[in-house]
């Protein structure tokens, strides 16, 4: 949204509203709410060319993700606000850290019942051994979610 590549925030699971994520286009992706294939979105942002490589996070499709990480120069690690660090996240983080890639962590699904933000930060630091620095902060969670403070 910030870069202008998409105009409307959507969820793969938001079938009733027809706001499927642009990168999740296959029927199985829409049904299961997961990425099955890798896709790329390219856009300009503040004078820079940004390529976002959306890769499968599900363990059944991890080989595609590993190959994509070999071509990337940085990574966005997406953490589910309710589940926290998952097994697949640990594996992919390990691959990225072996390559000494800069990693930006994004906590999503804060519009659902989620863990406390401080708990999530602590979990990321303790389990992955990295420092965290919040660039924005959720205002509420679940039904009380109002947005993020930047």
The range of the structural domain enclosing residue 86 comes to 35-129
Split into its structural domains, the chain has a count of 1
Q: Specify if 53 maps to a domain.
A: yes
Q: Specify if 14 maps to a domain.
A: no
Cβ–Cβ under 8 Å, residues 36 and 28: yes
Dihedral (C-alpha) 8, 11, 12, 15: value to the nearest 10 degrees? -90
Question: Smallest Cα–Cα separation from 53: which of 109, 5, 18, 95?
Answer: 5
Q: Specify if 115 maps to a domain.
A: yes
Domain CATH for 52: 3.40.50.300
Q: Specify if 144 maps to a domain.
A: no
* Full-model pTM: 0.71
Q: What is residue 60's DSSP assignment?
A: G
| Alpha carbon distance 66, 53 (integer Å) | 12
Q: Specify if 15 maps to a domain.
A: no
pLDDT in tens, the chain (150 residues): 455 555 544 444 444 445 444 556 667 767 766 666 777 788 888 898 888 877 776 666 567 777 777 888 888 888 999 999 998 889 888 888 988 989 989 999 888 999 999 999 999 999 999 999 999 999 998 899 888 898
Q: Specify if 55 maps to a domain.
A: yes
């Amino acid at each position: 949204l910030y870069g202008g590549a998409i105009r409307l925030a959507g969820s793969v699971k938001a079938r009733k509203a027809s706001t499927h994520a642009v990168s999740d286009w296959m029927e199985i992706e829409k049904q299961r709410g997961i990425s099955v294939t890798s896709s790329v979105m390219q856009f300009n942002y503040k004078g820079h060319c940004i390529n976002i490589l959306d890769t499968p996070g599900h363990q059944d499709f991890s080989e595609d993700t590993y190959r994509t990480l070999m071509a990337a120069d940085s990574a966005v690690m997406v953490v589910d606000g309710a589940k926290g660090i998952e097994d697949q996240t640990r594996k992919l983080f390990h691959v990225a850290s072996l390559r000494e890639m800069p990693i930006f962590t994004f906590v999503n699904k804060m519009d659902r019942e989620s863990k406390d933000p401080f708990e999530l930060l602590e979990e990321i630091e303790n389990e992955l051994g990295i420092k965290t620095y919040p660039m924005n902060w959720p205002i509420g969670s679940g039904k009380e979610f109002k947005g993020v403070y930047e």
